[in-house]
Amino acid sequence: MTPLRPEEWEALLLSAKVGLAATVVALPFGILFAWLLARREFPGRTLVETTLSLPLVLPPVVTGYFLLVVLGGHGVLGRFFEDLGFGFAFTWRGAAVASGVLGFPLMVRTIQVAIAAVDPGLEGAARSLGAGPRRVFFTITLPLARAGVLSGAILAFARSVGEFGATITFVGNIPGETRTLPLAIYALLQTPGGEAAAARLGILSALLAATALFFGEWIRRRAARRELR
């Protein structure tokens, strides 16, 4: 395969930066919501689950439009952040937000299943020995669910790297700022003679996604084998 050109490397590195930022920022919230849904019954639970799952079924362009309304320059939150010098619209930070929102449901569902599989009896035993809820969570629940947490993070990262519709709607297709791999492929397909470069980036995107899915499945299987021992 022909070596990547500088602008293609730029898109690849930006995709990695956006995906990592989206995953790292979303992970604590993903763990929190996964724990709530796996361990707690509360009023409005169905509404919370529905809201968290919406990005899975909404067209990504609609999600991007909602983000633009809320976090854009004329949005209430958007104006607030811009006054702080931390705007999101048409920046790589906005691309990370869009990618994170689309990957968040996958992260929460995967971690929720892992936490639900942790034996509540072990948590109860720790509490009976005097451990508080926070200590039980960090010493019992989270370590036992770590494979699911890692798998959820990897899936969210893979989804973030492949995000297109919400990103182009919310932050546009700005070279060096918001042009991630999917947007670079789109731009190349609109350029005469860009098919070969688009094919290279398409193969690279497929390899990245396949690698992420492979490691996610490997972690899940390894954890399952440990439970059988």
Residue type, 73: G
User: Crossing angle of helices 181-189/195-228, nearest 10°?
Assistant: 150
Proportion of the chain above pLDDT 90, given as a percent: 53
Query: Pick from 209, 149, 109: which is nearest to 24 by CA?
Result: 149
How many Å apart are CA 40 and CA 173, to the nearest integer? 42
Q: What is the pLDDT of residue 48?
A: 93
Proportion of the chain above pLDDT 70, given as a percent: 97
Predicted confidence (pLDDT) per residue in 57-77, tens digit: 999 999 999 999 999 888 888
Res 1 pLDDT > 80: no
Predicted confidence (pLDDT) per residue in 128-180, tens digit: 888 888 999 999 999 999 888 998 999 999 999 889 999 999 999 998 889 99
Which residue ranges make up each domain of the chain?
6-228
Distances (CA, A) of 72 to 59, 82, 104, 127, 204: 19, 9, 20, 46, 31
Could you tell me which residue, 226 or 152, shows the higher pLDDT?
A: 152
Res 2 pLDDT > 80: no
Residue with tokens 């690279």: 204
At the topology level, CATH places domain 6-228 in MetI-like fold (1.10.3720)
Q: What is the pLDDT of residue 218?
A: 82
149, 219 in Cβ contact below 8 A?
no
Predicted confidence (pLDDT) per residue in 27-49, tens digit: 999 999 999 999 988 898 999 99
User: Can you give the pTM of this predicted structure?
Assistant: 0.89
Q: What is the mean pLDDT of residues 197-202?
A: 89
Q: What is the pLDDT of residue 221?
A: 77
